[in-house]
Amino acid sequence: MILNIPFFVKTKNIFLLILAATQFLPTSGYSLVCESLFKETAVTKKMPVSKFTNELSAEILSVVNLEPILIGTNKPDWRQYQILGDLVWKIEKHLAETKQAQLPEQEIEFLKSSLQEWALRHHQLAKDVTEKASPDLKKYIDVNFAIFKLQQRINELIGLNVFPDYYIQLVAPESVLVKQAEATVSGIKKAIEELYPTTGYKNSATLRKAIQKKSKLYNQTLQLVDSKIVVAIHRPENARFWIPLAGFQNQRVTGSSKGAMLPDYRNQVESQLTFQNQADYSEQSVRYMPNYGEARPDVSVKKYKPNTGAKHYGSDLWIVKKSLYENRASWTPRDSFGQNRVGSRDLATSWDNMFIPWSARELMVPYVHGEKYEGREAETFSPGSIQKFDLKGNFYGSSYFEVQIWGPLTLNDIEAFHFMENPPDRRLFELLTSKGIKIYDERTWPAKIYNGEESK
């Protein structure tokens, strides 16, 4: 199987075309030799194809302003995300309806013929740029990784490298970043074990015994933090467009924040609270750096009202799968910008000079029952000032328990979606339910399962 390269190509350009053409192949892989470049495969043009594939070809050709992205000069805008996102959605829907893994062979041949000139131009441009990739270009690819991931996804679904795939190969894949995230959390797990005596308790087991003896209420809260709290990432409703396309992005990618828009200072805080060198940390992939959320009781817990301390970050709550917490989550009993910090592990003198690993969440319990609620149930799952429980360290909490989820985070890492204001539209509702993500209406409490009655 070959590409249909025009016979009038100038000789001096043949080598460049070979380089480009080898990328514009079915993803299952085909061989290409020089003599094949001059052979016509006109039969592919005459072969009947579906209306869908004809429309798909036209839509790909209509993708505008791709060149500035491929040379790393322009940040992708929402229109380009929308065009590519719509292509992914339409192809996935078509394949699901026709019960196919990818397009049939004759459809691929048709796309190869109809998109050849368009694709080769972009492949050659991409190859020229990436062969001499600068650190700035690699940073650009990392920050805008989602747009290249969408292009890769289209290639996979079609079964043909329509879009150039050089870019993603220049930056760390998600699997590497997940391992890096797990290594970071593993490092603070070791640190908390060493610093645990600074709490006034030898280790986790002795603190747990003290909590259990304190009161029935403290013991119930310990059981709650062990098994019935979840991590909720707040996002505004306008993020519903981005999350299915690009996953969860921190402020270094979005260039905006509902909190403090201070990426350099955030690098300082995150590096110090994980005992990393700040300069080295700042050079890491932005996709490794954490997304922020809050710890809250899951929907089965009725005695706590929803915490509103983080609501200004957005009225949508995306509940992260519990399977990620142990190895990729950390937390603080206050806003991490207010946490006491030191320059290195050697200088740490207290257990709260760091992000606390999820595994040590028993330390949340004394904060939940601070002086305001001493001896009775707290109204919300919130950290407060500790007065009557002997726990050394920083005694003052904030309005919610901040949680950091390290490494790449996408819709596939979400187990539930809560909305506090407007329900999702029909397309998002169907997407979430197709992925097994439960949807809850939290306009009233307790939150209840939402079945799409108002989604249009």
Lowest mean pLDDT among 43-52, 333-342, 419-428, 441-450: 43-52
Do residues 21 and 164 touch, judged by C-beta distance below 8 A?
Answer: no
Does pLDDT of 441 surpass 50?
yes
- Quick check: 387 and 371 in contact, CB under 8 A? yes
What is the arrangement of strands in the sheet containing 291-297, beginning at the earlier edge strand?
A: 356-357, 329-332, 401-405, 291-297, 229-235, 316-320, 414-419, 438-441, 448-449
Residue 240 CA from chain centroid, whole number = 13
- Read off the pLDDT of residues 107-163 as tens digits, 9 standing for 90 and up: 999 999 999 998 898 898 888 888 888 898 899 999 999 999 999 999 999 999 999
Query: Does residue 269 have a pLDDT over 80?
Result: yes
What is the per-residue pLDDT across 283-293, written as a single tens digit (0 to 9) for each? 999 999 999 99
The residue among 7 and 444 whose pLDDT is bigger is 444
DSSP 380: B
Q: Which of 32-46, 174-188, 190-204, 292-306 bottoms out in mean pLDDT, i.e. has the lowest?
A: 32-46
Q: Residue 338: pLDDT above 90?
A: no
Distance of alpha carbon 87 from the chain centroid: 20
> 190: part of which helix (H) or strand (E)?
helix 174-195
Task: Give the mean model confidence (pLDDT) for residues 226-241.
Answer: 94
Overall average pLDDT of the 46-75 stretch? 81
Bridge-partner residues for 221, per DSSP? none
The predicted structure's pLDDT at residue 38: 24
Residues 317 and 175: beta-carbon distance below 8 Å: no
Could you tell me the maximum CA-CA distance found in the chain, to the nearest angstrom? 87
Tokens of 306: 């929803």
What gap in Å lies between CA 415 and CA 425, rounded to an integer?
18
Per 3-state DSSP, the chain is made up of helix, strand and coil in percentages (nearest 5) of 50, 10, 40
What confidence category does residue 395 fall into, taking pLDDT thresholds of 50, 70 and 90?
low
Radius of gyration of the chain (CA): 26
pLDDT (mean) for 204-224 = 94
Residue 64, pLDDT above cutoff 90: no
Hey, what are 190's tokens? 């070791």
Decide if pLDDT at 373 tops 70: no
| Backbone CA torsion sign across 194, 387, 313, 453 | positive
Our measurement of the distance from residue 135's CA atom to the centroid of its chain's CA atoms, rounded to an integer in Å, reads 23
At 302, is the pLDDT very low, low, confident or very high (cuts 50, 70, 90)? confident
CA atoms lying within 13 Å on the CB side of residue 136: 6
- Main-chain dihedrals φ then ψ at residue 411, nearest 5 degrees: -60, -25
Tokens of 212: 């259990």
User: How many Cβ atoms are within 10 Å of 146's Cβ, its own excluded?
Assistant: 20
pLDDT for 47 equals: 59
Report the helix count and the strand count for the chain, using DSSP H and E.
19, 9
Strands 414-419 vs 438-441: parallel, antiparallel or unpaired: parallel
Report whether 419 contacts 441 (CB < 8 A). Answer: yes
Structure tokens at 384: 């407060």
Give the model's pLDDT for residue 434. 94
> Any idea which residue has 């190859």 for tokens?
127
Point out the least confidently predicted range of 176-180, 325-329, 383-387. 383-387
Q: What is the pTM of this model?
A: 0.85
Asked if residue 234 has pLDDT above 80, the reply is yes
Q: How confident is the model at residue 85 (pLDDT cuts 50, 70, 90)?
A: very high
- Residue 365 pLDDT greater than 90, yes or no: yes
